[in-house]
Amino acid sequence: MTAAIRSETLQVRSSEDVVTVRQRVRFWALQQGFGLVDQTKMVTAASELARNTLEYGGGGSVLIEALSRESRHGVKVTFEDQGPGIDDIELALQDGYTTGSGLGLGLGGAKRLSSEFEIVSRPGTGTRVAIVRWK
């Protein structure tokens, strides 16, 4: 059974908040004993999702949780916004697909950098993306 042992909630309303998310995710990964490579993967994925939350979702919140499952430790980061939502999640996960000016690597890249990835979105109701990385 997976248990959240600590958590922190942050707002994502500006580019400065994206930087704060990166810093806090690195802190939490370090606290959970992640090495540099795993820290970097988690921070990179969280940075992409924070940027998406701001740019496409109009801002939102992020919940960072320290996880424990038997002898494993992990970090879960959940982004939520009340933006326009995603019409076609499978299409949005494809590399190269973008509705903006980016390279279209954010969602798919975040998924590849994570141990677990979950996205729930409905047009008009917003999006929730949760990623987990285990040590």
* pLDDT tens, residue by residue, 94-124: 776 665 555 445 798 899 999 999 999 989 9
Q: What is the DSSP string of 42-104?
A: HHHHHHHHHHHHHHTTS-EEEEEEEEEETTEEEEEEEEEE-SS--S-HHHHTSTT--SSSS-S
Q: List, for residues 51-80, the tens digit of each pLDDT value.
A: 999 999 999 999 999 999 888 999 999 999
Q: Is residue 82 scored above 90 in pLDDT?
A: yes
Distance (Å, whole) CA 109 – CA 104: 9
Q: What percent of the chain has pLDDT over 90?
A: 74
Q: Are 75 and 25 in contact (CB under 8 A)?
A: yes
* pLDDT for the residue numbered 62: 98
Q: Is 12 helix (H, G, I), strand (E, B) or coil?
A: strand
At 93, the pLDDT band (50, 70, 90 cuts) reads confident
Kindly report the pTM of this predicted structure. 0.91
Pairing of strands 116-122, 72-81: unpaired
The CATH number given to 3-134 is 3.30.565.10
At 45, the pLDDT band (50, 70, 90 cuts) reads very high
Mean pLDDT for the chain overall: 91
Q: Which of 29, 44, 19, 14 is nearest to 109 (CA)?
A: 44
Q: Is residue 4 scored above 70 in pLDDT?
A: yes
* pLDDT for the residue numbered 104: 42
**How many alpha carbons fall within 13 Å on the CB side of residue 3?**
6
